[in-house]
């Protein structure tokens, strides 16, 4: 089925050549935040929020990014759109390197990549009406006439299910779900190809969560959008994502198609994470064996030597505390960074992974 | 908004009446005798007649009510007479200064232009300098500019005008001879030359006063900008692909100005109050100087009236600040 000899310049394509086009390519992404101290604010170290992360997102798919609080999910999402100055690595979106684009190019590229933020209240300027929030990117990046702009605003409001008569209201006059719809309409204004959804439903009621997620799915179908869906809600990710990446302490632990990951998690961390999802059936729920991880997440300023997860891993081995596991494709399209699978015969995907 | 304003204005009436009563009582309780400076050779019966003429022998309540009538009825009527040429207030007793025996409001009208020119201009200059400093020090937090600005603001707030004023006179008038040490009120600005003289004599008092305003407002703006710069909506604006200047000057600055503008509005009454110390140092004969000389001379009607005008302005500008808040911040709605 696969010709391993065909590994070309793109090491990732070597294993399972995918007919789909890669819209987003991330290679060795590092996002370090300096720690300063003392009178002169000397740099004494780094918080390694994202440390050497590589993955691809194919056009039209939804990649779920899960992990516990503080593992670097949101930082990855923001770094992808260059809302932070990345420390190192390559981020290519639609063929263009975002991480190193100059200010002007970057601003033009912002039309292809957008973000839906976590907190729909704080992420909208309280002094701007819905219409001006949605039309601001149009003012900046297009030359539409006033009438066309208004038509576009109404079109977007219709698309996200907002009543047109609300155009001149301010964000605080809306409910959480409606505000998130404003945030989505705003992100869609410039017809982006790629949208990072940074925990778009975390601040919403459960009933509203479903509405917003369904809206995102509908829009994806209609507009052919590509999502990076960041969440800590595993069941929601299972619902929306085509592939799922699991993050732990700034690194990717596992990346696999949804069904494969939920059916057979390879990484001990993924296993523990999935075992924490409650089951709606009380009979199953009482018999469910939860893997309880001991200890706390180490500080990203001082990650452990070897595997990042070695301090809490229930299946830790001697090698884990010494050698950092490579992020490798151990099954087709199933990548994992764990020494347990060192013996599995597969080709080393090197520093990259998809 | 209109209902709210009317309600606040109605509520202001009892507040102001109460304030006027307090001012009146405090002044009456304070030691001092308006005839204390007169020679001892004046016979007691003459002295009594003089007291009667000043109206100090009447019961306190009557004195207070008379002052209220003069302030709220006679003076407004007189103003109408002056403007429209009518004669409503003919024969009515106006508030008379004990020092000069002329109506208090006439003296205030003579003094207010100097105060407004010097203190008002200083306020405007101070705010205008403060805005860029505040914006830049917040945007480049902990930079050399920010640290210098912080230090300068601290210095500006810590050094009182009676020190900085004298220091400036010493440096710029005595040593360098750039600006006159004394403000000449009689200067009539009728030619370019005199205009230039007017500018030169205004520089120092305006600067001394502006330092205070700049220090205060730039600090306020800096912290308000810092609050807003870390807000999520700023990231949204950047994600939209807005230019950095638009992000900072439109999104952040507009939101940061909300608390700052109220601080600026609350500072306006002090402009009308003049600057007692600075006016004294540069001999600007404005309201501040008028008040301090009236206090020395035990000129109770004058002190009472000026103090009460301050109170009215403070109550008024508090209302203005609240209303501005409602206008600037769509999240705040009155009624």
Instruction: ipTM value, please give it.
Output: 0.79
pLDDT at A217 exceeding the cut of 70: yes
Element (H, E) at A294: none
A53 has which bridge partners?
A: A29
pLDDT at A276 exceeding the cut of 80: yes
Task: Report the alpha-carbon distance of residue A114 to residue A24 in Å, rounded.
Answer: 13
Cα atoms in the 13 Å half-sphere on the side-chain side of A310 = 18
Residue in chain A closest to B332 (alpha carbons) equals A172
Of B65, B64, B90, the residue nearest B77 (C-alpha): B90
DSSP at A149? H
pLDDT digits 0-9 by tens, B181-217: 888 887 778 888 888 888 888 889 899 989 989 999 9
Residue in chain B closest to A114 (alpha carbons) equals B239
pLDDT at A282: 85
Task: Report the alpha-carbon distance of residue B55 to residue B66 in Å, rounded.
Answer: 10
* Most B CBs within 10 Å, among A102, A111, A123, A190, to test the B interface: A123
Neighbour tally for A140: CB within 10 Å: 17
Q: Is B255 in contact with B310 (CB distance < 8 Å)?
A: no
Does B243 contact A at CB distance below 8 Å?
yes
State the architecture of B107-328 in CATH terms.
Orthogonal Bundle (1.10)
Burial A116-134 (b: 16+ CB within 10 A, else e): bbbbbbbbbbbbbbbbebb
A195 — phi, psi (to 5°)?
A: -125, 130
Chain A residue set in contact with B, beta carbons under 8 Å: 41, 78, 81, 83, 103, 106-111, 114-115, 117-119, 122-127, 136-137, 140-141, 170, 172, 183, 186, 190
pLDDT at A37: 82
Task: Report the alpha-carbon distance of residue B102 to residue B301 in Å, rounded.
Answer: 11
pLDDT at A235 exceeding the cut of 90: no
CA–CA min distance A85, chain B (Å): 13
What is the residue-averaged pLDDT of chain B?
Answer: 87
CA–CA min distance B224, chain A (Å): 15
CB contact under 8 A, A125 and B244: no
pLDDT at A344: 60
Residue in chain B closest to A171 (alpha carbons) equals B331
Within 8 A of A108 by CB-CB distance, chain B residues are 241
pLDDT at B91: 78
Residue in chain A closest to B252 (alpha carbons) equals A125
Mean pLDDT along residues B281-292: 88
What are the domain boundaries of chain B? 2-84, 107-328
Q: Which of B235, B241, B331 sits opposite A137 (nearest CB)?
A: B241
Within 8 A of A83 by CB-CB distance, chain B residues are 235, 238-239
Mean pLDDT along residues A318-326: 89
Packing angle of the helix pair A176-188, A206-223 (nearest 10 deg):
20
pLDDT at A62 exceeding the cut of 90: yes
pLDDT at A349: 44
Mean pLDDT along residues B278-304: 87
Within 8 A of B329 by CB-CB distance, chain A residues are 126-127
- Residue the block writes with tokens 């699991």: A246
Task: Report the alpha-carbon distance of residue A345 to residue A4 in Å, rounded.
Answer: 13
Cα dist from B250 to A184, A246, A327, whole Å: 22, 39, 45
Residue in chain B closest to A79 (alpha carbons) equals B239
If contacts are CB pairs under 8 Å, which of residues 248-307 in chain B contact chain A? Answer: 251, 254-255
- The model's confidence at residue B242, banded by pLDDT at 50, 70 and 90, is confident
Mean pLDDT along residues B43-56: 82
Packing angle of the helix pair B253-272, B104-115 (nearest 10 deg):
140
Within 8 A of A107 by CB-CB distance, chain B residues are 241-243
Q: Is A22 in contact with A58 (CB distance < 8 Å)?
A: yes
């Amino acid at each position: 089925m696969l010709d391993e000899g065909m590994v070309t310049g793109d090491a990732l394509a070597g294993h399972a050549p995918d007919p789909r086009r890669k819209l987003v390519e991330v290679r060795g992404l590092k996002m370090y935040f300096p720690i300063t101290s003392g009178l002169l604010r000397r740099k004494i170290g780094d918080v390694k929020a994202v440390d050497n992360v590589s993955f691809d997102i194919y056009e039209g798919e939804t990649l779920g990014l899960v992990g516990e609080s503080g593992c670097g999910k949101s930082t990855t999402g923001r770094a992808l759109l260059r809302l932070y100055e990345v420390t190192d690595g390559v981020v290519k979106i639609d063929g263009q390197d975002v991480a190193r684009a100059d200010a002007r190019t970057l601003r033009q590229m912002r039309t292809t990549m957008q973000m839906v933020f976590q907190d729909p209240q704080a992420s909208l300027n309280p002094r701007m009406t819905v219409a001006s929030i949605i039309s601001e990117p149009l003012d900046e990046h297009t030359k539409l006439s006033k009438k066309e702009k208004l038509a576009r605003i109404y079109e977007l409001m219709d698309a996200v299910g907002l009543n047109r008569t609300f155009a001149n209201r301010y964000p605080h006059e809306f409910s959480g779900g409606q505000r998130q719809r404003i945030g989505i309409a705003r992100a869609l204004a410039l017809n982006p190809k790629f949208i990072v959804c940074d925990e778009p439903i975390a601040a919403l009621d459960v009933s509203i969560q479903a509405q917003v997620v369904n809206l995102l799915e509908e829009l994806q179908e209609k507009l052919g959008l590509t999502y990076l869906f960041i969440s800590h809600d595993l069941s929601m990710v299972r619902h929306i994502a085509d592939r799922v990446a699991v993050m732990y302490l700034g690194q990717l632990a596992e990346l696999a198609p949804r069904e494969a990951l939920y059916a057979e998690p390879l990484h001990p961390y993924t296993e523990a994470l999935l075992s924490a999802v409650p089951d709606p059936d009380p009979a199953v729920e009482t018999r469910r064996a939860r893997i309880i991880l001991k200890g706390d997440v180490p500080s990203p300023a001082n990650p452990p030597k070897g595997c990042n997860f070695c301090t809490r891993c229930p299946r830790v081995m001697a090698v884990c505390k010494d050698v950092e596991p490579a992020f490798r494709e151990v099954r087709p399209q199933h990548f994992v960074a764990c020494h347990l699978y060192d013996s599995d015969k597969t080709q080393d995907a090197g520093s990259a992974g998809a | 908004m209109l209902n709210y304003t009317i309600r606040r204005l109605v509520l202001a009436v009892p507040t102001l009446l109460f304030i006027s009563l307090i001012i009146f009582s405090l002044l009456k309780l304070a030691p001092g005798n308006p005839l204390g400076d007169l020679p001892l050779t004046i016979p007691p019966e003459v002295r009594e007649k003089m007291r009667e003429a000043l109206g100090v022998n009447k019961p306190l309540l009557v004195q207070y009510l008379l002052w209220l009538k003069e302030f709220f009825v006679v003076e407004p009527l007189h103003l109408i007479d002056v403007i429209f040429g009518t004669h409503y207030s003919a024969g009515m007793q106006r508030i008379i200064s004990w020092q000069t025996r002329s109506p208090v409001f006439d003296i205030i009208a003579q003094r207010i232009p100097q105060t407004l020119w010097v203190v008002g201009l200083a306020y405007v200059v101070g705010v205008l300098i403060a805005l860029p400093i505040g914006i830049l020090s917040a945007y480049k937090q902990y930079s050399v500019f920010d640290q210098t600005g912080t230090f300068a603001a601290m210095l500006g707030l810590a050094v009182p005008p009676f020190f900085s004023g004298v220091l400036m006179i010493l440096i710029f008038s005595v040593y360098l001879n750039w600006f006159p040490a004394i403000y000449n009120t009689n200067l009539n600005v009728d030619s370019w030359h005199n205009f230039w003289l007017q500018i030169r004599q205004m520089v120092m008092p305006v600067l001394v006063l502006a330092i205070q305003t700049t220090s205060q407002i730039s600090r306020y703006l800096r912290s308000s900008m810092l609050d807003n710069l870390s807000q999520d909506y700023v990231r949204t604006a950047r994600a939209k692909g807005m230019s950095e200047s638009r992000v900072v000057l439109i999104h952040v600055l507009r939101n940061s100005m909300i608390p700052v503008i109220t601080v600026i509005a609350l500072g306006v009454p002090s402009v009308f109050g003049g600057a007692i110390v600075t006016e004294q140092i540069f001999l600007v004969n404005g309201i501040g100087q008028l008040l301090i000389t009236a206090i020395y001379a035990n000129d109770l009607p004058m002190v009472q009236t000026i103090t009460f005008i301050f109170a009215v302005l403070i109550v008024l500008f508090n209302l203005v600040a609240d209303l501005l808040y409602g206008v600037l911040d769509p999240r705040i709605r009155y009624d």
